[in-house]
């Protein structure tokens, strides 16, 4: 890459550095291992140097690397960082201790702009203010020859004392005593107390140093999430959703219908002990292609033995293997992890992220108990949907929809853990080997689930004045409270809609069950693996659920 024009003065990066310079702020400097001026071999892909302060910012002319002088000069920003604590040895330059008072660069005021500039080059002084007519011109009106400019030794050796207090660069390890384990301070990364490496919070129940040469591991068991914290999160969620529902018509019992034109078909019914809100989702021609059901739980259901209260308390006390997995540029030094923590049970569910999987025979009772609740929910919701569409004209729904009740039992369950501020962005559950029904049980903190049509759905709705407007915004927003379940049905729903989940609290589990068709798996070994891992063990029968 060769720079062909002057650097932008308004870029946020230079503006923030200017602000830090003016405010005399401390800046923690992190160096990547690709830097050609590293005086030692870089110990990590990214290494934290120290706290620095900015002591000079100027714009400098140069001939772009790889270009010739004829190609023209360009101006680039330069920022001088000096280490804040000059008495502390620098690990990247062993043995070097600078003398703060040794040298001072000469400064001179420009006759043209009346601003002072440092004499930073060996060739002598000239104005360094890029807005000045005399910028890069010696006082005698002679242009500075940009080729071969060298910084003066005074400028290189100058040191500016930093007189404000310098805090520690190392944040404190999350304190197991005061925290319950899923708040921001716990979910953030940590600095290894053994080797000093910076680490990401990868595992739900323990901390491990990512430096392969280090052995640091520390258990981080969750404390029981306080009941009153859950209560107040629930109250806040109910208030927030209630206020939003009132702003939209029709005012639905549980959900916010953001586009009533779009969601014309909905009903509320009772299934088992649950109040169930059914929303039937259309394609662009208005035909129902499937739907979404929210099964709202009750305190009675939640507190039954083996019910959501017990499941939540068991999940927070156990280590079921939840971890964050590489989501972006896996294996690269810029690798990004999923926001939420995952563990796959049963057949392996392959989506954008590779998640570790355990067979149902290895699954704890909690998972199998949740699985049977979801199997019940699937059966109850799809039967109700079949009744609803059965009463409609044949051309009001997609023909394939009748098959949903015949779809196979779930053979997979993905457990997700969300800490404070974790979320899952818009996506579909539409991988080709997936069955048409997906069901989830929500435990702990409340959350908001949102649905919107995808661009490819080509939805257009007539709006006022008969102009037609595409719809890609949320059409439905549903709170999922502790103990609630949701069911999505219809393959086309996943093709034309996407959903996102935003937890509104600090500890939530979502257990989502699917059917993954081994016959559609390309690799033979995967099919066998799915058959074995997805078989529900006999001992799980005791968890069969009746809807109450």
- Binding-site ranges for ligand AKG (CB under 6 A): 414, 416, 424, 429, 440, 442, 499, 501, 510, 512
- CA 330/CA 405 separation, integer angstroms: 39
Least CB distance to ligand AKG at residue 11 (A): 37
Nearer to Fe ion, 14 or 353 (CB): 353
Identify what 442 binds: ligand AKG, Fe ion, none; CB under 5 to 8 Å per kind.
Answer: ligand AKG
3-class secondary structure per residue, 108-177 = EECCCCCCEEECCECCCCCECCCCCCCECECCCCCECCCCCCCECHHHHHCCCCCCCCCCCCCCCCCCCC
340 belongs to an annotated ligand binding site:
no
Identify the three-state secondary structure at position 29.
Answer: strand
Nearest C-alpha neighbor of 276 from the set 487, 82, 23, 423: 487
Identify what 416 binds: Fe ion, ligand AKG, none; CB under 5 to 8 Å per kind.
Answer: ligand AKG
Least CB distance to Fe ion at residue 329 (A): 22
List residues bridging with 500 in a β-sheet.
450
Identify the three-state secondary structure at position 445.
Answer: coil
Identify what 414 binds: Fe ion, ligand AKG, none; CB under 5 to 8 Å per kind.
Answer: ligand AKG
Identify the three-state secondary structure at position 394.
Answer: helix
Cβ atoms < 10 Å from Cβ of 116: 12
Nearer to ligand AKG, 50 or 429 (CB): 429
Least CB distance to ligand AKG at residue 402 (A): 25
116: tokens are 């002072």
Site residues, Fe ion (CB under 5 A): 429
Nearer to ligand AKG, 158 or 429 (CB): 429
Identify what 366 binds: Fe ion, ligand AKG, none; CB under 5 to 8 Å per kind.
Answer: none
Least CB distance to ligand AKG at residue 449 (A): 6
Nearest C-alpha neighbor of 379 from the set 401, 410, 352: 410
CB-based closest residue to ligand AKG: 510
Least CB distance to ligand AKG at residue 203 (A): 19
Question: Rounded to whole angstroms, what are the CA distances from 123 to 119, 137, 146, 275?
Answer: 9, 12, 10, 82
Nearer to Fe ion, 290 or 307 (CB): 290
CB-based closest residue to Fe ion: 429
187: tokens are 């979910």
Q: What distance separates the 2 farthest-apart alpha carbons in the chain? A: 95
Q: How far does Cα 537 stand from its chain's mean position?
A: 35
Least CB distance to ligand AKG at residue 337 (A): 16
Identify what 128 binds: ligand AKG, Fe ion, none; CB under 5 to 8 Å per kind.
Answer: none
Nearer to ligand AKG, 492 or 494 (CB): 494
Least CB distance to ligand AKG at residue 46 (A): 31
Nearer to ligand AKG, 207 or 440 (CB): 440
Determine if residue 275 is left, alpha or beta; phi over 0 gives left, psi from -120 to 50 gives alpha, anything else beta: beta
418 belongs to an annotated ligand binding site:
yes
Nearer to ligand AKG, 132 or 501 (CB): 501
Contact 340, 423 (CB under 8 A): yes
Q: Which residue ranges make up the annotated binding site?
A: 418, 427, 499
Residue ranges for the known binding site for 2-oxoglutarate are 418, 427, 499
């Amino acid at each position: 890459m060769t720079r062909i024009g002057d650097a932008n003065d308004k870029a946020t990066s230079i503006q923030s550095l200017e602000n830090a310079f003016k405010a005399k702020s401390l800046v923690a400097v992190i160096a990547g291992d690709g830097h050609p001026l590293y005086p030692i071999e870089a110990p990590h892909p990214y290494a934290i140097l120290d706290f620095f302060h900015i002591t000079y910012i100027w714009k400098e002319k140069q001939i772009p690397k790889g270009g010739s002088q004829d190609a023209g000069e360009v101006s680039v920003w330069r920022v001088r960082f000096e280490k804040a604590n000059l008495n502390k040895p620098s690990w990247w330059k062993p043995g070097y201790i600078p003398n703060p008072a040794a040298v001072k660069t000469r400064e001179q005021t420009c006759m043209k702009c009346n601003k002072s500039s440092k004499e930073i080059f060996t060739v002598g002084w000239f104005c360094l203010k890029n807005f000045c007519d005399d910028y890069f011109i010696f006082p005698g009106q002679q242009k500075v020859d940009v080729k071969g400019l060298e910084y003066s030794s005074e400028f290189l050796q100058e040191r500016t004392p930093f007189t404000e207090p310098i805090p520690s660069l190392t944040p404190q390890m999350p304190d197991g005593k005061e925290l319950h384990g899923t708040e921001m301070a716990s979910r953030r990364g940590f600095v290894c107390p053994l080797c000093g490496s910076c680490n990401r919070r990868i595992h739900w129940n323990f901390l491990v140093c990512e430096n392969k040469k280090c052995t640091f591991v520390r258990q981080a068991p969750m404390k029981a999430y306080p009941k009153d914290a859950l209560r107040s999160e629930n109250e806040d969620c109910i208030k927030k959703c209630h206020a939003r529902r009132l702003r939209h018509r029709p005012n639905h019992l549980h959900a916010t219908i953001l586009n009533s034109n779009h969601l014309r078909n909905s009903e509320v019914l009772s299934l088992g002990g649950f109040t169930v809100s059914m929303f039937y989702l259309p394609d662009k021609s208005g035909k129902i292609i499937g739907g979404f059901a929210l099964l709202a739980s009750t305190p009675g259901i939640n507190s039954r033995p083996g019910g959501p209260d017990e499941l939540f308390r068991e999940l927070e006390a156990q280590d079921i293997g939840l971890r964050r997995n590489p989501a972006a540029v896996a294996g690269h030094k810029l690798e990004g992890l999923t926001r939420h923590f995952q563990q796959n049970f049963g057949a392996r569910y392959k989506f954008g992220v590779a998640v570790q999987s355990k067979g149902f025979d290895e699954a704890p009772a909690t998972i199998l108990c949740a699985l049977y609740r979801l199997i019940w929910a699937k059966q109850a919701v799809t039967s109700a949907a079949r009744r609803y569409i059965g009463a409609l004209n044949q051309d009001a729904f997609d023909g394939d929809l009748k098959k949903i009740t015949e779809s196979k039992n779930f053979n997979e369950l993905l457990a997700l853990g969300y800490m404070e501020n974790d979320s899952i962005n818009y996506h579909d559950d539409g991988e080709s080997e997936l069955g048409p029904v997906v069901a989830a049980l929500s435990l702990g903190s409340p959350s908001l689930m949102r649905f919107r049509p995808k661009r490819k759905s080509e939805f257009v709705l007539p709006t006022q004045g008969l102009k037609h407007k595409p719809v890609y915004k949320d059409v439905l927003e549903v709170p999922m409270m502790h103990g609630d379940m949701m069911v999505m049905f219809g393959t086309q729903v996943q093709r034309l809609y996407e959903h996102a989940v935003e937890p509104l609290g600090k500890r939530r589990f979502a257990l989502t069950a699917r059917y993954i068709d081994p016959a559609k798996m390309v690799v033979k070994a995967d099919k066998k693996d799915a058959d074995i891992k997805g078989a529900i063990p006999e001992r799980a029968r005791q968890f069969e659920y009746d809807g109450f």
